Structure 1
Amino acid sequence: MAVQGPLQGQSILVTRPGDQNVAQCQLIESLGGTAISLPLLYLEAVTDDSELYSALKHCLLDLDLYAKVIFVSPNAARLGAEKIDDYWPQRPVGIDWIGIGQQTTQQLQALGFDAWCCADGYDSETLLATPQMQQVEDQRILILRGDGGRDLMRDTLTARGAKVDYGTVYYRRCPSYSEQTLKQKLVDAAPSALLITSGEGLTNLQTLISGHLAGRFQTLYHTLLVVPSKRIAQIAENLGYQQIKVASGPDDYSMVRAILPEMDWNSWHDKQI
């Protein structure tokens, strides 16, 4: 029997990588909606024979020389912690462990790191504005992340006098889908909203539909698109999306909540507690 809720009758596209979309799908279904899973990012861990492993290994061997280690995402936290534990069964002390966003920090804390993040933000800009990140002259700072991505954190901290290194712990890949799969999930299922949490996921979607008779996917540009930041909203606008809403954060609740009027969310939430 279908669950009754404020999303009843709606189909929502969920695009987080792999198994990370499970919780968001479950939340949508608990609200009476139908979740359509289409991961727009495939993550591949850096291994011993990977091209970027040598630089990562060098950073990890020197881990105790860093004043700060910054993890840019929950994936960086999970995979970075695994690599650190490979080289440091007993983690070095005196390091400032930092997560970008609450989800990343919670992941680190669950793994035993005494980590912190900015309480009122979830992106690089917010972290860089904190008092702890102002006086970093002559500090060595390690940023654990996926390949590519923005250089704002490194460039800003370098300008403030820090020596910043990257440790790449995973590769970001654009997944491959057949035209039939894309048509089934993006056209036939007629999603009423798209939840996309990264600029790369958004551009990957563009790549996927551009390679498969993009004309049939034109309705997507008029579908509600929920993103977690103004930066990603700007990317979406440049790509031609007409209905863009910025959620209060990238976590599952914030993204899903952005679909609903405040009255519907509060009414449903009050019944659950």
Structure 2
Amino acid sequence: MLFLNTRPADRGGSLTQALQAAQVDVLELPLLELAPAAWSEALALLYAQLSAVQVIVAVSPSAVHYGMAGLQRAGLPLHALAHVQWIAVGEATAQALQRYGVSSHVPEVETSEGMLDLPALHQLSASAGVAFWRGEGGRQFMMDSLRAKGMRILNFVLYQRRCPAQAPEILAANLARLQREWRYCMLLSSEASWLNWLSLISAHPDLLNHAHILVLGARLSGLLEHYRQAHHAAFSYIQLNDLRLESILKQIALVQETP
């Protein structure tokens, strides 16, 4: 069975290698790519306020990379944030922070909902300051939830997310193969990836009905379920709570065993 690895190219390579080592047939078809946001007066003003927050939420390894670069650009040393608690969306982001000597809280479920359940957030006062290092369009639900509690949110939009230019070319080159597959498996970890996939296959809507989708988190699962019911679609999906290799391999094995 074919597995579509839709992770960004700079993050998907290790997953492809691990799956291929487990004898899984993988097609790399990134549905997102990231580009750094231009430095601006608005970003400079946010960095000037950063030492006053109690928590910084990093939503991806890229957010860590671009955020730390912004600290240097703003002339704000990392030790000035020694009092801050850090939250990482998952293990990969936590490892990216650790490379800078920063320890972080990581949720069991690698989603906005999982992060909102962390004790580090529950223990904050209603007037606490929380900074988000994120990409354009990411983690809006989490920010809105904390803002509704009265917390002060610093919204660092550090990068933009877009569909890679090569994605239509990869799909076109493998279209006949996908159409022959009675079932293929794919990974979706964000709403942006899901919307990009729908756009890519808009001229070939039946492709979706052959898919078994591994989807990260309850909110994204809900979006797929709503789409499936609204469009009477025949694709199947299963919810993942993390992007660990063993979790992905377990679900691929279950799909392969299904007659």
Provide the rounded CA distance (Å) in 2 between the counterparts of 1:186 and 1:194.
15
User: Does the alignment pair 1:225 with 2:213?
Assistant: yes
Which one of 217, 221, 224 corresponds to residue 236 of structure 1? 224
Which one of 104, 116, 134 corresponds to residue 145 of structure 1? 134
Structure 1 match to 2:172: 183
CA contact (8 A) 1:196 1:226 kept: yes
Relative to structure 1, the CA distance from residue 254 to residue 27 in structure 2 (aligned partners, 3 Å threshold; closer, same or farther) is same
CA contact (8 A) 2:29 2:170 kept: no
User: Does the alignment pair 1:163 with 2:149?
Assistant: no
CA contact (8 A) 2:29 2:167 kept: no
Displacement of 1:180 in angstroms is 5.4
Displacement of 1:55 in angstroms is 2.0
Shift >4 Å, 4+ stretches: 177-180
Structure 1 match to 2:238: 245
TM-score normalised per structure 1: 0.81
Provide the rounded CA distance (Å) in 1 between the counterparts of 2:188 and 2:223.
12
Relative to structure 1, the CA distance from residue 179 to residue 62 in structure 2 (aligned partners, 3 Å threshold; closer, same or farther) is closer
Provide the rounded CA distance (Å) in 2 between the counterparts of 1:154 and 1:196.
22
Structure 1 match to 2:113: 125
CA contact (8 A) 1:46 1:171 kept: yes
Displacement of 1:35 in angstroms is 1.3
CA contact (8 A) 2:35 2:161 kept: yes
Structure 2 match to 1:29: 20
Structure 1 match to 2:89: 100
Which one of 7, 13, 17 corresponds to residue 4 of structure 2? 13
CA contact (8 A) 1:227 1:250 kept: no
Provide the rounded CA distance (Å) in 1 between the counterparts of 2:212 and 2:167.
24
Structure 2 match to 1:261: 254
Counterpart residue type for residue 22 of structure 1: G
Which one of 195, 198, 203 corresponds to residue 195 of structure 2? 203
CA contact (8 A) 2:30 2:167 kept: no
**What residue ranges of structure 2 are gaps of 5+ in the alignment?**
none
Provide the rounded CA distance (Å) in 1 between the counterparts of 2:116 and 2:250.
27
Provide the rounded CA distance (Å) in 2 between the counterparts of 1:209 and 1:23.
26
CA contact (8 A) 1:100 1:117 kept: yes
TM-score normalised per structure 2: 0.85
CA contact (8 A) 2:110 2:217 kept: no
Relative to structure 1, the CA distance from residue 60 to residue 32 in structure 2 (aligned partners, 3 Å threshold; closer, same or farther) is same
Relative to structure 1, the CA distance from residue 77 to residue 68 in structure 2 (aligned partners, 3 Å threshold; closer, same or farther) is same
CA RMSD of aligned residues (A): 2.3
CA contact (8 A) 1:228 1:255 kept: no
Identical amino acids, percent of aligned pairs: 25
Counterpart residue type for residue 15 of structure 1: T
User: Does the alignment pair 1:63 with 2:53?
Assistant: no
Counterpart residue type for residue 228 of structure 1: L
